Amino acid sequence: MRKIISIANQKGGVGKTTTTLNLGTALALKGFKVLLIDLDPQANLSSYLGFEGDGDPTISHMMLSIAKGMKVSKEDFDSCVRVSEENKISYIPSDINLANAESYLMNALSRETVMKRILTNENLTDYDYVLIDCLPSLGILLVNALTASDNVIIPVQTQKFAYEGLGSLINICEQVKETINKNLKVSGIIATMAENTKMSRNTLEMLDKNYKDLLYNIAIHKSVEAANSSERNRSLCLNKNKLGEEYKALAEEIITRC
């Protein structure tokens, strides 16, 4: 059964993009067909995958089409999909035009459902998992992602300030579930950039104490390998390293939970 999963946190720098790509590749290595969607105007996921503007449509084009009252056909959808052969996944890139989403969605009919209308069953016939890399915001793009998703996964950096915003995001997810998408489920919280410091250990303890049922067993540790992976446009899961193995273990948990 296909799953649409948002990787979300309104805090920046917590590992959303790194989690999206490496989790996607980990799932693909298990034989699943995976599509990643970059829903951030900064386009970090697109850059991670080595994407350079090629003139073909992106996620921005599809959202604008829906906002104008048009329908996105399977052909339109497929024209936005690129393939990263090395990382074994397909993806839809972002571009700077997505920064204008708030304005061009303002007058769209049922504007919180634009992404849902893009991610129809017909358009997703080729995929088992769709992972949406969300921007660091609680605005309309995040609500669109949550409205279209079955599950949301929240990466939380093991630092005090990253932890403090967690309640607000979970509250947004609960509101979306109550009002728009009754099937939405917060599947779990991933502790990211864990390290052997007092603050990191304390944050892990707080996460375990207050969100024990949601906290994934595997924590993703801080390592220079993450930055190196981004520079190489290559998933950590394709080489033998600690972080790659952690993401593979995380994929096993997610298959069970989602």
For 143-202, what is each residue's pLDDT tens digit?
999 999 999 999 999 887 777 778 889 999 999 999 999 999 999 999 999 888 888 898
Q: Is pTM beyond 0.85 here? A: yes
Enumerate the H helices of the chain as residue ranges: 16-29, 44-48, 59-67, 74-80, 101-104, 114-118, 140-148, 160-164, 166-179, 198-210, 224-232, 242-257
Beta carbons of 42 and 134 less than 8 angstroms apart: no
User: Quick one: how far is CA 214 from the chain centroid?
Assistant: 17
The stretch 222-236 carries a mean pLDDT of 88
**Of residues 157, 221, 215, 143, the one with CA closest to residue 186:** 215
Provide the pLDDT confidence category of residue 48 given band limits of 50, 70 and 90. very high
What is the pLDDT, as a whole number, of residue 159?
Answer: 83
Token pair in block for residue 77? 């959808």
Cα separation, 225 vs 212, whole angstroms: 28
DSSP type of residue 162: H
